[in-house]
Amino acid sequence: MAQRAVAINPTKPGGIAVGLVLALTLGTLGAVAWRADWGRGLGPADWAAVRFTVTQALVSAGLSCLLAIPVARALARRRFWGRSVLVTLLGAPFLLPVIVAVLGLLAVFGRNGILNDALGALGLPDVSIYGFHGVVLAHVFFNLPLVTRLILQGWLSIPAERFRLAASLDAPVGRLLERPMLRAVLPPAFLIVFLICLTSFAVALTLGGGPRATTVELAIYQALRFDFDLGRAAMLALIQFGLCLIAAALAWRMTAVDGFGAGLDRSVDRWDGSRWADGVIIALAAAFLLVPLVMVIVRGVPGLFELPSDIWRAALRSVIVAIISAALCIGLTLALALRGGRTVGLVGVLPLAASSLVVGTGLFLLVYPFANPAKLALVVTALVNAVLALPFALRSVAPTVDKITSDYARLGAILDMSPWVWTIRVIVPRLRRPLGFAAGLAAALSMGDLGVIALFAGDAQETLPLAMYRLMGAYRMDAAAGAALVLLVLSFALFWICDQGGRIDADL
Partner 1 sequence: MLTCEKLELTQGAFHLSADVHFSKRAITAVIGPSGAGKSTLLLAIAGFVTAQSGQVLLDGVSFTSLAPGKRPVSMLFQDNNLFPHLSIFENVGLGLGTHRKLDAAARCSVLSVLDRVGLLNMADRKPAALSGGQQSRVALARLLLADRPVVLLDEPFAALGPRLKDEMLDLMQEMVVQDAGATVLMVTHDPADARRVADHVAWVADGVVHAPRPTAEIFADPPKGLRGYLGKMG
Beta carbon of residue 506, minimum distance to partner 1 (angstroms, whole number): 8
Any contact of residue 179 with partner 1 (CB under 8 A)? Answer: no
Span of 2-10, 47-55, 110-118, 328-336 interacting with partner 1 by CB under 8 A: 2-10
Residue among 1, 122, 256, 504 that touches partner 1 (CB under 8 A): 1
Q: How far apart are CA 256 and CA 278, in angstroms?
A: 28
**Residue in 316, 346, 258, 247 with CA at minimum distance from that of residue 464:** 316
Q: What is the 3-state secondary structure (H, E, C) of 306-350?
A: HCCCHHHHHHHHHHHHHHHHHHHHHHHHHHHHHHCCHHHHHHHHH
Cα gap 226→425, rounded to integer Å: 52
Q: For partner 1, which is the closer residue by CB, 346 or 415? A: 415
Between residues 8 and 61, which has the closer beta carbon with respect to partner 1? Answer: 8
Residue with Cβ nearer partner 1 (51 or 410): 410
Q: How far is the CB of 504 from partner 1 (least distance, A)?
A: 13
Decide: is 354 part of the binding site for partner 1 (CB under 8 A): no
Is-contact 205 469, C-beta < 8 A?
Answer: yes
As measured in angstroms, the least distance from the Cβ of 425 to partner 1 is 7
Considering the complex, state which of residue 262 and residue 508 has its C-beta at the smaller distance from partner 1.
Answer: 508
**CB 185 within 8 Å of CB 289:** no
Question: Of the candidates 154, 147, 178, which has an alpha carbon nearest to the alpha carbon of residue 289?
Answer: 147
Residue 504 lies near partner 1 (rule: CB under 8 A): no
Minimal distance, residue 407 CB to partner 1, in Å: 5
Is the CB of 230 or the CB of 417 nearer to partner 1? 417
Query: What residue type is assigned to position 366 of the chain?
Result: L
User: Which has the closest alpha carbon to 296: 96, 97, 482, 494?
Assistant: 482
Instruction: Kindly provide the residue ranges of all beta strands, DSSP E only, lying in 35-123, ordered along the sequence.
Output: none
Shortest spacing between CB 402 and partner 1, in angstroms? 14
DSSP per-residue codes, 357-426: HHHHHHHHHHHTTTS-GGGGHHHHHHHHHHHHHHHHHHHHHHHHHHHHHHHHHHHHHHTT--HHHHIIII
Shortest approach of partner 1 to residue 5 CB, angstroms?
9
Among 445, 439, 377, residue whose Cα is nearest residue 100:
445
Q: In whole angstroms, how close is the CB of 14 to partner 1 at the nearest point?
A: 20
Residues 391-450 touching partner 1, rule: CB under 8 A, are 407-408, 410-411, 413-418, 421, 424-426, 429-430
Please give the DSSP secondary-structure letter assigned to residue 175: I
Amino acid identity, residue 327? Answer: A
Smaller CB separation from partner 1, 6 or 42: 6
Question: Among residues 266 and 410, whose Cβ is nearest to partner 1?
Answer: 410
By beta-carbon proximity to partner 1, the closer residue of 142 and 408 is 408
Asked if 500 touches partner 1 (CB under 8 A), the answer is: no
CB of 8 to partner 1, least distance (A): 9
Q: How many CB atoms lie within 10 A of CB 350?
A: 21
3-state secondary structure of 258: coil
Neighbours of 2 (CB within 10 A): 4
Tally the residues of the chain.
Answer: 508
Using CB under 8 A as the binding rule, whether residue 161 contacts partner 1 is answered as no
Sequence-distant (6+) residues with CB within 8 A of 84 are 265
Residue 415: CB minimum distance to partner 1, A: 5
Binding to partner 1 (CB under 8 A) within 4-43 occurs at 4, 6
**Smallest distance from partner 1 to CB 404, Å:** 10
Shortest Å, Cβ 414 to partner 1: 5
385 alpha-carbon distance from chain centroid: 11
Residue 158 · residue 177 · CB < 8 Å = yes
Residues 355-394: x where in contact with partner 1 by CB under 8 A, - otherwise, as a string: ----------------------------------------
| Residue 461 DSSP one-character state | G
Q: How many chain residues are in contact with partner 1, going by CB under 8 A?
A: 24
Q: Which is nearer to partner 1, 274 or 418 (CB)?
A: 418
Positions touching partner 1 (CB under 8 A) are 1-4, 6, 407-408, 410-411, 413-418, 421, 424-426, 429-430, 506-508
